[in-house]
Amino acid sequence: MATSTISARDDASAPVPRELPPLLAQIRDGWRDRDGRTALLGAAACLALLAVLFRSTLVHFVQVWSTDQNYSHGFLVPLISLYFANMAAQYGPIRQVPAVGVGVVLLMMALLGRLATIVVPVGIASDLSFIAGLAGIVALFAGREALSRYGFALAFLVFMVPLPIHLYTTIANPLQLMVSKAASVILNGTGLPVLCEGNHLTLPGGVRMFVAEACSGMRQLTGFLALTTAVAFLTPRPRWYRLVLIGSAIPVALTANIARVVLTGWIMAYDPKLAQGTFHTIEGLLLMGFGLALLRIECAILNMIVEEDRPASAATSAAPAAG
Amino acid sequence: MTTTRRAVLGLAILSLGLVAEAAVERATLTDRPPLKRSLQTIPMTLGNWVGKDEPVDEKIAVESQATEYLNRVYTLRGRPGVQVWLWMNYSDRGLNLRHSPEVCLPSGGWEKIESLTKVVAIDRASGPPQEVSVLGYGKSELVQKIGFWYYIFGEGRIERFVRGLPISSRSSHGRTTRGSGLTVEVFYPSETGLGDDELRDFITELLDVMDPVLPEDRASYHIP
């Protein structure tokens, strides 16, 4: 991975000029010539029009991010995307490879998606079309190479799109049942007799416990998927390593939630009041930490495998491992 | 192609999009059907239930984005403690569909109790059963249940089909409709001693008297 460096200066007493972030520096450099200025102004005008066209989608995003706990991370996603775009900008100036056709096709697809949602109530089509529209503007004004370079940053925006509630429920319900069953097996195995009926667990003394949708692992799954994708992108590792990392989001989220339900079961058996309100929230945060720790352990194991596979000559010039 | 031409092309496509948006909006304009009668015509007596109108806080009335609403307490004859609060809210632009219990109650500090949440089917004398979401919410020691369902009027057959697909947002999750909408919420605190049978009885009586009020072109949903 390339890194931006500030060249060392012989005159230590002179103040070092503050460098702009690479993305802003690229925009500044583009502004210096007339052609670049036209491109930047055109892109800005197109972005404004795109925002007007997708105003209902943008309002929907903000509303869901602020009211639905499953998507409260939505506010962070555009910022993380910008961070990735800034990282991509570190590779230096982009060669202009015209991609007018690609840009036009992407913009037309975005329009069709938007128009389709006026006729039929499929909100997610409009949500994804907005991202296609952004990609279209990049292709039209910055070209094919820019689209390729900033493609990941644009694709990452998918994580801010709320799933339709029905689809969410369709995925979350089986996960909920799986977590309940696995947790009851572990609780029985660890000496706490539990009767499992669907998502209801009955503990000794008739104490009933319910595995909520929030404990299905779905909430963590969306977060972990975004996180592992980001880590995979940032890690200078082989493709298989990155795929394993992203694929592990599902078992890690489920494992963390099974652990949460098992812990809650034991706490409820001791004192049901401790499994409610603030205690339950703290427990959730701790288990989120447990999930992150699992990911860290996984990265460490994968790093060992990568180190073993790497020839001695390559090992000396490798970038430091992330994750 | 020069940069200027690319800019003109991009702006032309997006401007065309805005024009097309307005045209499609106009072409698919629905009548946003009004209610056939005022909600106030819902009788005060529903079988064994006797109702009384309750005033609504001005702020809540504005927040609800309702064109018309009904807020009543119905008491079961002979059992003064057994009461249900009926909140019906009609919006000619479907804006009220944003205000499902899952959005509004948590903002008031109520936490969802998922073990109390289920879907019940209310049998009707004529027509298919009415599916109702029964939701449970708690705040400190208080627990209340809510029977919830809603209608969208005038969307048409295609939209109705698409709304039933798992890819569409069937909920009142911030998406408005091209039609109008009515939400029905039946609140009952758990300490009132109201059971599922009484709730079914109340909703059955209510559904019968709602028929003359609702527009014909309607679809019923229950997922918040």
Q: What is the pLDDT of residues A32-65, one digit of tens each?
A: 888 888 999 999 999 999 999 999 899 889 988 8
Percent of chain A scoring above 70 in pLDDT: 86
Structure confidence at residue B62 (pLDDT): 80
pLDDT of residue A310: 64
Measured between beta carbons, which residues in chain A are less than 8 angstroms from residue B10?
A: 42-43, 45-46, 103, 107, 136-137, 140-141
* Four-residue CA torsion sign, A187, A189, A190, A194: positive
A46 touches chain B (CB under 8 A): yes
Give the CA count within 13 Å in the CB-facing half-sphere of B76. 17
Q: Does B21 touch chain A (CB under 8 A)?
A: yes
Q: Among residues 170-229 of chain A, which lie with CB inside 8 Å of chain B?
A: 170, 200, 208, 210, 212-214
CA of B136 vs chain A CAs: smallest distance (Å): 12
pLDDT at A89 over 50: yes
Pick among B157, B168, B171, B223 to test the A interface (most A CBs inside 10 A):
B168
Shortest distance, CA A120 to any CA of chain B (angstroms) = 5
pLDDT (tens digit per residue) in A132-155: 999 999 999 999 999 999 999 999
Q: What span, in angstroms and rounded, lies between the C-alpha atoms of A207 and B54?
A: 39
CB contact under 8 A, B3 and A103: no
For residues A84 and A75, give the distance between their C-alpha atoms in angstroms, rounded to a whole number: 15
Q: Choose among A59, A63, A140: nearest Cβ to B10.
A: A140
**Is the pLDDT confidence value at A156 over 90?**
yes
* Cβ contact, residue pair A107, B11, below 8 Å: no
- Average the pLDDT over A312-318 and give the result: 43
Model confidence at B37, pLDDT cuts 50, 70, 90, reads very high
Overall average pLDDT of the B30-37 stretch: 88
User: How far is it, in rounded angstroms, from Cα A235 to Cα A109?
Assistant: 33
Residue with tokens 């309750």: B54
User: Which of B8, B17, B28 is the closest to A53 by Cβ?
Assistant: B17
Question: Which residues from chain A sit within 8 angstroms of residue B24, using beta carbons?
Answer: 115, 118-119
Residue A208 or B121, more confident? B121
Q: What percent of chain A has pLDDT over 90?
A: 28
Helix, strand or coil for residue A288? helix
Closest CA to B211 of B94, B34, B42: B42
| pLDDT, greater one: A198 or B24 | B24
How is residue A112 written in tokens?
Answer: 């069709």
Instruction: Compute the average pLDDT of residues B159-180.
Output: 66
Query: Which of B11, B158, B168 has the CB atom closest to A45's CB atom?
Result: B11
Look at A121 and B24 and tell me if their CB atoms are within 8 Å.
Answer: no
* B171 touches A at CB < 8 Å: yes
pLDDT of residue A189: 93
Q: Is B79 on the interface with A (CB under 8 A)?
A: no
SS (H, E, C) B62-112: HHCCCCEEEEEEEEECCEEEEEEEEEEEEECCCHHHHCCHHHHHHHCCCEE
pLDDT at A321: 36
Cβ atoms of residues B84 and B187 within 8 Å: yes
- What DSSP element (H or E) covers B26? helix B3-27
